[in-house]
Each structure stands twice: as C-alpha cells, then as structure tokens.
Amino acid sequence: MQKLMSKKKPTYPITEALSSYLTKYARNIKIPIYYDDLLRYQGAVTVYDKHGNDTLWIQVYYSESEREDIEQSLKQMYSILHSDGSDALLPYLNIDSIDYCTFGNSKPFRIKVRNILNDNYIFLYIKKADASRIYGLELEHLLSPNHINFLVHGNTLIEEHISGIPGDDFITHHLEHCSEQDKREIAKEFVKFNERCFVRLLGDMRSYNYVMVLTNDFDRIQYRIRAIDFDQQSYEGNVKVYRPQFLKENNAFVQLVASELKQPSVKQYKREERSLLAKRATSEKKRLRQLIVCMRKDEISQPEKIKELKNALLDLTGDINFKKSKNMGQILDSALHFIVRNYQSVNPFLR
C-alpha cells in the first residue's frame, strides 16, 4: 500500500513578513507565558473518556510556586481571545484543568476555563507556533464557512475550541442511528468538505482531525464538517493527502456517498463548493492576497514534495501556472486563481 504521508513533519518558523501580517490583523499578542513554560509540570494523571478508554491526554499539575503565575497568564489569554483583554473579568475565572496531549505533531495543552459565577466553561488550546498551522488557520478563516479565532505569542499559538462531535466518534457511535435523510445530508457535506480541503490544500483530514457540527433547522438536522487540525497545510507532495476520501479512516463516509448519492449529485455539490470558494476568495481578496504574498516567500515544505504536488496538479488541470510554481505558496496561489477563473459566478441575473 502506498504511503500517503511523512511520518514526522518539521516545525517551520514564523517569518518576519508573516508576523507583520498577524500584527496587522490583531493576531499577535504580548503576555508573559510561552508554550515551553507549560512543559515544566511536576506530575500528571491519565485522562479517560466516558467509555473508560485512554484518551492519550494527561492532566498535568505544577509546583505551588509556579501555578499561580501560570493560571493568571492563562486567564489573561482567555480575556484577550474572547473579550477586550481587560483584567475586569479575571476574578470571575478559574482554571479547572490543564491537559497535555502526548499524541500527534502539535502536542497541545488543553485549558479548561470556568466562569465561577455560573459554572459555564470553555476550552482553549496552546501549541507550538508553526507557520504551516498558522497559514492553515488563516485560510480556514478566509475560505471556509467558519470563522477561526486564534492568537500568536512568539513561538506560542493559542486557539479557541471548535465544538462538535469528533469524526471518529461520530462514525463509531452515531452514524448507524441516523435516518436515511440524515445520511444523504452527511454524504453531501462530506463531498463538499472533501472538495474544500482539496482546493485549499489542507491535508491529513483523518476522522479524528475534524468534527461533526449538528444544528437543528426546522424539521431536520443540518450537518457540517469542520476541520480542527491545520498542521498539514500545504506540506505533502502526494495529492491524495488533500482529499479526505483517500484516507482509510474516512471509509465509512466514502461508502455513504457511494450508496446515498448519484454521480450527477456528487458533481453538482463539487461545483457548488468550488463556486463558493471562488466567491469567498473574491470577497476576501485584499486580505487573502496579503496572506498569499507571505506564503509565496516562505518555505513550508521540501523540494521533492513541491515538485511532486505541482506535477500532479498540472496533470489534473492542465494549468501551466502549476508548472511555474516554485514553492507551496505559489502552488496554492495557482490553485486559487484556477478556481476563481473557472468557477466564479457568471449568473446573468447578477449586476
């Protein structure tokens, strides 16, 4: 079986140009804590899920001398991410837990922040800042139906929690109980999600790297798939990595599409998603162009992967711009130009 992805992806530093972009759009912050500070925990206990399975997360704790400063800084992070950054709400916040994930590239910390007045809580995630991941987050914000809230502090990335049912959990515990109408709706959403990831070159969307978001809408449930891991933005050379349909963890959804949707419907949904991407790229043209300029000057992959991907996309589209591309930023730029040229609305009723 062909190996789709590299075993380990390197971390790419944030360039000065990307840092300036983040500052311009209020993504850069200053507070006295870094990812590495959280690594100085004194001990940990394993976190299990409701079924008694090891979640690969551990709950960590710190020495008394460090705990107070760490928790105060984490409360400030919450205030900047979700409010106006003032200290007014800090007395009403409590850090209930700090969990550390031992699995995957990003090895994030998950912080549970609770409002002590009403017991409502929210999670935020702290990871090592990686240029690939930041490009992925920004592209998700600009090109998907979802807004993304995140902050950068030096080599530290702070992300808000994205609510939903993890894809692998949904497949295991919920999919078989869905009605036929729901299954058709899920199949449609997977086709659109597959196309969205491919066009914007977001890779490694295995079932545990996205969530299912369910919304009640009159007499039905609306389903949406949201990516939650952006580590593999424009890195791999194998074009199949950017299509969730080729990842074995998504086989249940691939089979659902095959059984629930006819080929004309699949083509229709692909075209719909490409047209929506073209519209978003056009409406966010100024900011997207500034991001792409940073990406075109950056090196976030390896020469052999760049060559493999651009040749595959050239063969697929016949677009000579892919052949001219020299890095991943230029490849993505070519892909977005291709979509805008070919799928931007030509509706005769629009002025």
Give the model's pLDDT for residue 1: 36
- For residue 284, which of 224, 219, 336 has the smallest C-alpha distance? 336
- The pair of three-digit structure tokens given for residue 200, joined into one six-digit string: 């914007």
Q: In sequence order, what are the beta bridge partners of 114?
A: 94, 121
- The pair of three-digit structure tokens given for residue 25, joined into one six-digit string: 């759009």
From first to last of its 351 residues, the chain has per-residue pLDDT tens of: 356 777 788 999 999 999 999 999 999 988 778 999 999 999 999 999 888 888 889 999 999 989 999 999 999 999 999 988 889 999 999 999 999 998 777 889 999 999 999 999 999 999 999 999 999 999 999 999 999 999 999 899 999 999 999 999 999 999 999 999 999 999 999 999 999 999 999 999 999 999 999 999 888 899 999 999 999 999 999 999 999 999 999 999 999 999 999 999 999 999 999 999 999 999 999 999 999 999 999 999 999 999 999 999 999 999 999 999 999 999 999 999 999 999 876 565 556
- What are the distances in angstroms from CA 107 to CA 56, 90, 312, 313, 347? 10, 27, 31, 32, 46
For 216-264, give the DSSP string.
EETTEEEEEEEE---TTBS--S-GGGG-GGGSGGGHHHHHHHHHH--HH
Give the model's pLDDT for residue 36: 94
CA 98 – CA 325 distance, rounded (Å): 43
Q: Say what the pTM is.
A: 0.93
CA 109 – CA 102 distance, rounded (Å): 10
CA 302 – CA 332 distance, rounded (Å): 15
Give the model's pLDDT for residue 322: 97
Give the model's pLDDT for residue 349: 57
CA 168 – CA 250 distance, rounded (Å): 8
Give the model's pLDDT for residue 350: 59
CA 289 – CA 30 distance, rounded (Å): 26
Give the model's pLDDT for residue 2: 54
